[in-house]
Chains A and B, each alone.
Chain A
Amino acid sequence: MSYLNKLMDGHDGGLKHEGMTPMQKIAMRFVVIGLLYYGLAALEGMIMRAYEITPLPFIDETHFFSIMTVHPMVGIFGSSYMIVFGAFLFLTPFLMEKPIYSLKMANGSWMFIGGGVLIMWLAGFLFSYAPLYTLYWPLPADTEQFTAIGGIVYIVGVVGIMIGTFLYTYNVFKTIVYTPKGWEKQPSGALLRSALGLTAIANFFRKKETKHLVPLPIAAIARGTIDVGLNAIVISTAGVLILIYLVGNGLFSMDLQDTWVDALLYKNIFWWGLDLVADGLVLVFVAGTWYLLAMMISGKDLYMQNVARAALFVEMVVSWTVWSHHLMSDQGQSNALKVLSGEVVTAFELVTQGIAVFIVLTTLYKAKPIKMTNELKFLLGGILGFMLAVPAGIIQADLGMNRILHNTQWIIGNHVHVAILVGLTMTLYSAIYVLFPILTNGVKLYSQKLASAHFWLHLVGGIGMGAFMGMAGIDGMLRRTIYYNGEYNTYMILAGICGAMMMLAFILFLYNIIMSIGLKGLLGIYQPSKIDTHDCLVQEKDK
């Protein structure tokens, strides 16, 4: 078979998209777009890494900061949200053993989020809109630094992402509780209470325990989805506020005063919402994904299931109350919030995350001997990532240490990038490797050597980049700052090499996946499925 044939048709016959169910196709659509956006975020990251070594002649300062503005949004919403939502929109009906509530809504989600990210990215690329992703008030509404049209395009993109996100939240909850046509009436209220952990709480006060109606991963998906919804409300609110000012002052020359909104209050509410992504849904979703992966890899029930359910609920409540660790260096922030929310509750994340790690590792240990598959390697890599990034976060959420580390490369290196690139992304890669044969009806991976190279390059590159950025931060290098005289070049060159390793890892992974399924199969994912989901379930029941 020639190379070209293999590229078109895939390895060992490749992906036969005609045999894929609608849900398989939708999940793959999310994942493919999520991976493309990951590639874009990686490319942006490498441009910024190179710029930190020596300013690039074809990018001016303004554009550097517009790249920095869209980079986290592309990474979080374009990549992480897309891959996670795709996986969970597939897993929710799969684990509840019924069809998804709405295929149209699921398709709408990836279209709105994918399109929204593109529009938002264009605001940076075309209009150099650059108030950074934190959108600190009144910077995003400043029409002297940025054009109003750039800001409006950016917010339109954000609105698209939020619409897709709300559709996802509704579809997940509705799939858990609804009764498919022709089925016996489902106890919808009880299903929702079980998914959200209210049944587990009530069991503490009952003599006879009520049975959990949903599997553990569904509990994690539901609780993380609460944080997704809350976060979307806050980001939508900020978006509407910014839009009012941009349209009013920028387009209609009104005189809306930015002092009408208290900047510190805005920062509190915005970070409360944003932290629901960082400390809420990521940790809850990740713990739930770890539990599911541990069960699938080991073939055993999860160790300490009840504790795991309780920890997921505690994690959700903790995520609502930790935001103040982002305001420790704000002089106006009250000390009570800094200590209680910023230090005490934040430190509790070490406990909840520690419980999740203990449960997963014990489940895997009790199932030994188990084969070191790709999914297991990446799962262990993901756990390692969070075991590095969570303590780094706890260290910087200390009032004393925060004076030294605030706004330095430590925060964004050791904590954020290690959490996202090593912790979250390696967990997602594990999920992709485990779901790959399920979603593609058994397509075989093109090359195990490429998969192994992907693992080691990503792991070493991710930890290395975070570590060298962190070292620069300890030496005083600020984040969001360009150094023109090469003050931190040793660290930045080393971080750049590690970043290039991760970029290479992604290219190898993408090549391996494309060669496995073939370009024809890849394009076929975006064609309508000829199979009715309800028919699949009837066939399953008949077996």
Chain B
Amino acid sequence: MRYFIIILGLIVVALAALFIIKDNDLLLIGAIIAVITGFWIAVFQIPKEKDS
């Protein structure tokens, strides 16, 4: 479940980035790194979840 919640959070963050970042390469690269890092964190929640 945490995996899906983090993904929802990442979509919200990426959506906000589309409105906030204008013509700035560093912020663009920062947003990309944030999405990659966030998704890896989401994937690493999967082994921690109960095997229902």
- Within A328-367, the residues touching B (CB, 8 Å) are 332, 334, 336-337
Say yes or no: B47 contacts A191, CB within 8 Å.
Answer: yes
* With known contacts A230-B35, A272-B32, A264–B23 Cβ distance under 8 A: yes
- Within A170-224, the residues touching B (CB, 8 Å) are 170, 173-174, 177-181, 188-189, 191-192, 196
What's the nearest-Cβ distance from chain B to residue A1, in Å? 49
What's the nearest-Cβ distance from chain B to residue A239, in Å? 9
Which residue of chain B has its CB nearest to the CB of A101?
A: B51
Say yes or no: A320 contacts B36, CB within 8 Å.
Answer: yes
Bound together, the chains give a CA A269 to CA B28 distance in angstroms of: 8
Chain A residues within 8 Å of B44, by CB = 189, 192
Partner of B15, one of A101, A177, A240, A265: A240
Say yes or no: B47 contacts A177, CB within 8 Å.
Answer: yes
- Within A212-262, the residues touching B (CB, 8 Å) are 226, 229-230, 233-234, 236-237, 240-241, 260-262
Query: Interface 1/0s, chain B 24-41, versus A by CB < 8 A?
Result: 010010011001100110
Say yes or no: B14 contacts A265, CB within 8 Å.
Answer: no
Bound together, the chains give a CA A186 to CA B11 distance in angstroms of: 32
Bound together, the chains give a CA A406 to CA B37 distance in angstroms of: 32
Chain B residues within 8 Å of A226, by CB = 39-40, 43
Count: A-B pairs, CB below 8 Å:
81
Chain A residues within 8 Å of B51, by CB = 101, 174, 178-181
State whether the Cβ of A266 lies closer than 8 Å to any Cβ in chain B.
Answer: yes
Bound together, the chains give a CA A187 to CA B10 distance in angstroms of: 28
Say yes or no: A233 contacts B14, CB within 8 Å.
Answer: yes
Say yes or no: B25 contacts A269, CB within 8 Å.
Answer: no
State whether the Cβ of A268 lies closer than 8 Å to any Cβ in chain B.
Answer: yes
Chain A residues within 8 Å of B40, by CB = 226
Bound together, the chains give a CA A530 to CA B43 distance in angstroms of: 33
Bound together, the chains give a CA A266 to CA B15 distance in angstroms of: 10
What's the nearest-Cβ distance from chain B to residue A400, in Å? 23
Bound together, the chains give a CA A170 to CA B6 distance in angstroms of: 12
Bound together, the chains give a CA A229 to CA B10 distance in angstroms of: 11
Bound together, the chains give a CA A189 to CA B47 distance in angstroms of: 6
Interface residues of chain B: helix, strand, loop or mixed (majority): helix
State whether the Cβ of A303 lies closer than 8 Å to any Cβ in chain B.
Answer: no
State whether the Cβ of A166 lies closer than 8 Å to any Cβ in chain B.
Answer: yes
- Within A259-307, the residues touching B (CB, 8 Å) are 260-262, 264-266, 268-269, 272
Bound together, the chains give a CA A177 to CA B44 distance in angstroms of: 10
Say yes or no: B11 contacts A233, CB within 8 Å.
Answer: yes
Interface residues of chain A: helix, strand, loop or mixed (majority): helix
* With known contacts A177-B47, A233-B7, A265–B32 Cβ distance under 8 A: no
What's the nearest-Cβ distance from chain B to residue A228, in Å? 10
* With known contacts A178-B51, A179-B51, A334-B25, A234–B14 Cβ distance under 8 A: yes
Bound together, the chains give a CA A372 to CA B35 distance in angstroms of: 45
Bound together, the chains give a CA A496 to CA B34 distance in angstroms of: 45
What's the nearest-Cβ distance from chain B to residue A277, in Å? 15
Say yes or no: B35 contacts A233, CB within 8 Å.
Answer: yes
What's the nearest-Cβ distance from chain A to residue B11, in Å? 5
What's the nearest-Cβ distance from chain A to residue B28, in Å? 6
What's the nearest-Cβ distance from chain A to residue B34, in Å? 11
Chain A residues within 8 Å of B32, by CB = 269, 272, 320
Say yes or no: B18 contacts A268, CB within 8 Å.
Answer: no
* With known contacts A230-B36, A269-B31, A320-B36, A237–B15 Cβ distance under 8 A: yes
Say yes or no: A261 contacts B39, CB within 8 Å.
Answer: no
Bound together, the chains give a CA A261 to CA B40 distance in angstroms of: 27
What's the nearest-Cβ distance from chain B to residue A497, in Å? 43
Chain B residues within 8 Å of A188, by CB = 47
Bound together, the chains give a CA A41 to CA B39 distance in angstroms of: 31
Bound together, the chains give a CA A101 to CA B46 distance in angstroms of: 12
Chain A residues within 8 Å of B11, by CB = 233, 236-237, 240
Which residue of chain A has its CB nearest to the CB of B17?
A: A269
Which residue of chain A has its CB nearest to the CB of B49?
A: A174
Say yes or no: B3 contacts A269, CB within 8 Å.
Answer: no
Chain A residues within 8 Å of B25, by CB = 334, 336-337
Can you sample 20 A-B contacts with CB below 8 Å? A170-B4, A174-B46, A174-B49, A174-B51, A177-B47, A181-B51, A189-B44, A226-B43, A229-B39, A230-B36, A230-B39, A234-B14, A237-B14, A240-B11, A240-B15, A241-B18, A261-B19, A265-B18, A265-B21, A268-B28
> Which residues of A are at the interface with B, using a C-beta cutoff of 8 A?
101, 166, 170, 173-174, 177-181, 188-189, 191-192, 196, 226, 229-230, 233-234, 236-237, 240-241, 260-262, 264-266, 268-269, 272, 320, 332, 334, 336-337
> Which residues of B are at the interface with A, using a C-beta cutoff of 8 A?
3-4, 7, 10-11, 14-15, 17-19, 21-23, 25, 28, 31-32, 35-36, 39-40, 42-44, 46-47, 49, 51
- Would you list the 10 A-B pairs with minimal beta carbon distance, nearest first? A188-B47, A237-B14, A178-B51, A177-B47, A173-B46, A189-B47, A262-B22, A236-B11, A261-B18, A237-B11
- Additional pairs, 12, CB under 8 Å, beyond known A196-B43, A334-B25: A173-B43, A174-B46, A177-B47, A179-B51, A191-B47, A229-B39, A230-B36, A234-B35, A237-B11, A261-B18, A262-B23, A264-B23
